[in-house]
């Protein structure tokens, strides 16, 4: 019996002493791994409470993503049955379990800002004022969800890009200054390849184009992109460059000619006509219509196919 006690005391002492020796090492290594996002963040009491009994299961590291995936599959039922509050609650739990998976932040935000917002926008059983209020609230919820996802994944590009696209969407509430800030942040902070960089710079250009007061900046970017070569010469970019050259607030020291931009008048007419037809009330239209009309004359476009004609 005495021997058992002696053994117990020795074991305890050895564990305490070695524990004291290893504690700073363990703490430093944990911090380093967490900073590099090689370990999942700790659950605080609030998080544990939010996860209820799932927090126990989730304590087993590698089970967290599996549990999150199971919950994400289950959440599709809430989408189908349009139970938006339940869906939001489920995604809150999912991102607690798997915070470094941008997909779940994106999906949660998409459900809130697009699906739930559209549902309330079209909810015939609600008064018009309430519909508008709910529409805005769910978009803002989605936006906040994206912001939290960005904070949890600062090097990722997906959530920043989706935030930019959310506030540039013609079917939501447009906020081009916010879109500009988001894409500029994305281009400076996220880890992206050249192909992605090219695409996001174009998205920034289309947003700057629609932001009053940013025309000169938009023009500089359009010119820069155009100068990078054929791979950047997409119709939207060519139109942006042409339209910005026509804008009264833009100073273009050496404006490019129409054929320099489009190659020939037929291409210019085709693209500018599309630009006019897709006018969304935000993209500048200074001088575009006159230019198209002049091109119609020059190219002798049949009357019935011209802008302003009934069959256009």
Residues binding another protein (CB under 8 A):
3-4, 7, 10-12, 14-16, 18-20, 22-23, 25-27, 29-30, 32-33, 36-40, 42-43, 59-66, 69, 72-73, 76, 100-101, 103, 107, 110, 193, 195
Helix-, strand-, coil-residue percentages of the chain, each rounded to 5: 70, 0, 30
Closer CB to another protein, residue 132 or residue 154? 154
Would you state the structure tokens that stand for residue 100, as one six-digit string? 């470094």
- CB 279, min distance to another protein, A: 29
Closer CB to another protein, residue 32 or residue 297? 32
- CB 37, min distance to another protein, A: 7
Q: Measured between alpha carbons, how far is 238 from 154 in angstroms, rounded to an integer?
A: 33
- CB 217, min distance to another protein, A: 29
- CB 28, min distance to another protein, A: 9
- CB 12, min distance to another protein, A: 8
Closer CB to another protein, residue 25 or residue 281? 25
Closer CB to another protein, residue 78 or residue 219? 78
Closer CB to another protein, residue 114 or residue 282? 114
Closer CB to another protein, residue 116 or residue 222? 116
Q: Measured between alpha carbons, how far is 244 from 206 in angstroms, rounded to an integer?
A: 11
HSE-CB at 309 with a 13 A cutoff on CA atoms is: 12
Closer CB to another protein, residue 85 or residue 230? 230
Q: Measured between alpha carbons, how far is 286 from 106 in angstroms, rounded to an integer?
A: 37
Q: Measured between alpha carbons, how far is 237 from 245 in angstroms, rounded to an integer?
A: 12
Q: Measured between alpha carbons, how far is 216 from 244 in angstroms, rounded to an integer?
A: 8
Q: Residue 162 in contact with residue 143, Cβ under 8 Å?
A: no
- Residues in CB range of 52: below 8 A, 6 or more apart: none
Residue 257 DSSP one-character state: P
Whose tokens are 């906040």? That residue is 144
* Cα–Cα distances in angstroms (integers) from residue 8 to residues 4, 14, 34, in the given order: 6, 10, 35
- CB 280, min distance to another protein, A: 26
Q: Residue 284 in contact with residue 244, Cβ under 8 Å?
A: yes
- CB 132, min distance to another protein, A: 27
Closer CB to another protein, residue 48 or residue 131? 48
- CB 123, min distance to another protein, A: 23
Q: Measured between alpha carbons, how far is 141 from 143 in angstroms, rounded to an integer?
A: 5
10 Å CB burial of residue 180 (0-12, 13-18, 19+) is: buried
Would you state the structure tokens that stand for residue 46, as one six-digit string? 């609030």
């Amino acid at each position: 019996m005495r021997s058992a006690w002696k053994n117990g005391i020795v074991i305890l002492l050895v564990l305490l002493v070695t524990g004291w020796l290893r504690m700073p090492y363990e703490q430093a290594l944990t911090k380093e791994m967490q900073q590099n996002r090689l370990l999942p963040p700790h659950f605080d009491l609030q998080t544990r409470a939010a996860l209820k009994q799932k927090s126990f299961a989730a304590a087993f590291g590698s089970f967290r993503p599996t549990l999150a995936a199971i919950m994400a599959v289950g959440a599709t039922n809430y989408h189908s049955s349009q139970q938006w509050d339940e869906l939001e609650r489920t995604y809150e739990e999912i991102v607690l379990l798997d915070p470094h998976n941008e997909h779940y932040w994106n999906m949660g935000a998409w459900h809130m800002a697009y699906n739930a917002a559209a549902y309330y926008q079209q909810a015939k059983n609600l008064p018009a004022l309430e519909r508008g209020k709910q529409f805005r609230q769910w978009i803002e919820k989605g936006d906040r969800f994206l912001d939290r996802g960005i904070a949890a994944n600062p090097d990722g590009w997906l959530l920043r890009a989706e935030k930019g696209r959310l506030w540039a969407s013609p079917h939501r509430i447009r906020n081009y200054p916010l879109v500009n800030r988001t894409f500029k942040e994305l281009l400076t902070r996220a880890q992206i390849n050249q192909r992605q960089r090219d695409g996001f710079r174009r998205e920034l250009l289309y947003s700057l184009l629609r932001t009053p007061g940013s025309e000169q900046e938009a023009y500089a970017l359009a010119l820069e992109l155009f100068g990078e070569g054929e791979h950047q010469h997409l119709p939207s970019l060519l139109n942006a460059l042409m339209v910005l050259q026509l804008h009264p607030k833009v100073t273009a020291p050496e404006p490019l000619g129409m054929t320099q931009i489009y190659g020939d008048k037929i291409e210019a007419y085709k693209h500018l006509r599309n630009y006019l037809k897709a006018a969304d009330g935000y993209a500048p239209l200074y001088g575009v219509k006159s230019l198209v009309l002049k091109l119609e004359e020059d190219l002798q476009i049949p009357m019935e196919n011209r802008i302003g004609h009934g069959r256009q």
